[in-house]
Amino acid sequence: MTEAEWLACDGPIPLLAELRTRIECPGRKWRHFALACLEVFHPHYPFRADFLAVVAMIARDADGEWTFEEALRAQEGAVRILRLVVEDASEQRWYYVTEALAEALVAAVQAGWEGGRYSVVAGCQAAAGYLATSKRDWRASEEQRQAALLRDIFGNPFRPVACDPAWLTSDVVALARGIYEEKTFDRMPILADALQDIGCTNEDVLSHCRATNQVHVRGCWVVDLLLGK
């Protein structure tokens, strides 16, 4: 894959394969990707309370806050939801949607493990297909969204960026931390202005913050870079 292909690719599978060969990615990054993949399906899940409880545990683990006991509970909770789905096949359409998402949830708990990331992608793509009134349109849209998520979380592996210590003023770090903790990604252009004001001229950083069509989620490579995550 070339850099131009990386930037233009509208599906996650080729990007995942490229990341696997190019960089060492921590489980935290994969879990944030899994959480972002699952987020769009939250309103559609019939076992919503149980589903969101496991998602919340995965989010805690993504930032290294899990205890071993919580990890076990998350694993058990994800498997329990999958069993509930299998037992409740009362409506075929919802059965396939919820089965795909439950399998993706189990994979999300294991997202730092080999193969887990691909299972998340496959589960969410399958669910998108079943939920869509036009399967082709919704699935294509979900694939494009997942590709955009990967570029937001992992950046451009063809052009890695090192953090300049001069960027880490108290104001910039506080702004980045607020964006991360409060999920206020609409402030990304403000972060770009703050970086530029202190002398940052890195176009990859500034353009990523300012791109109007760029999705941002927890794990965004620029915010992580500034917070040392």
Region 98-120 average pLDDT: 69
Q: Are residues 29 and 107 in the same domain?
A: yes
Boundary residue ending a domain (112, 132, 154)? 154
Q: Are residues 120 and 140 in the same domain?
A: yes
Domain-embedded: residue 159: no
Q: Higher model confidence: residue 66 or residue 188? A: 188
Q: Report whether 56 contacts 73 (CB < 8 A).
A: no
Domain-embedded: residue 179: yes
Q: Cα 55 to chain center, whole Å?
A: 12
Q: Which helix (H) or strand (E) holds 203?
A: helix 203-210
Boundary residue ending a domain (129, 154, 179)? 154
Q: Are residues 130 and 221 in the same domain?
A: no
Domain-embedded: residue 53: yes
Q: Are residues 141 and 194 in the same domain?
A: no
Which are the contacts of 133, defined by CB distance < 8 A and separation ≥ 6? none
Q: Are residues 188 and 220 in the same domain?
A: yes
What is the reported pTM? 0.82
Domain that holds residue 40: 3-154
Q: What is the pLDDT of residue 103?
A: 73
> Using CB atoms within 10 A of its CB, is residue 80 exposed (0-12), middle (13-18) or buried (19+)?
middle
Q: Are residues 99 and 140 in the same domain?
A: yes
Domain-embedded: residue 172: yes
Q: Higher model confidence: residue 88 or residue 173? A: 173
Per-residue model confidence as pLDDT tens digits over 203-214: 999 999 999 888
Domain-embedded: residue 92: yes
Q: Are residues 84 and 146 in the same domain?
A: yes
Q: Are residues 120 and 56 in the same domain?
A: yes
Q: What is the pLDDT of residue 123?
A: 76
Q: What is the pLDDT of residue 208?
A: 96
Q: Are residues 148 and 170 in the same domain?
A: no
Q: What is the pLDDT of residue 117?
A: 72
Q: Are residues 114 and 21 in the same domain?
A: yes
Per-residue model confidence as pLDDT tens digits over 55-73: 777 777 777 666 667 666 7
Which tokens is 66 given? 């899990």
- Start-to-end CA distance of the chain, whole Å, equals 27
The residue with tokens 């995942």 is 16
Q: What is the mean pLDDT of the chain?
A: 81
Highest mean pLDDT among 18-27, 123-132, 155-164: 155-164
> Using CB atoms within 10 A of its CB, is residue 212 exposed (0-12), middle (13-18) or buried (19+)?
exposed
Per-residue model confidence as pLDDT tens digits over 134-162: 555 677 888 888 899 999 999 999 999 99
Q: What is the pLDDT of residue 105?
A: 74
Q: Are residues 150 and 189 in the same domain?
A: no
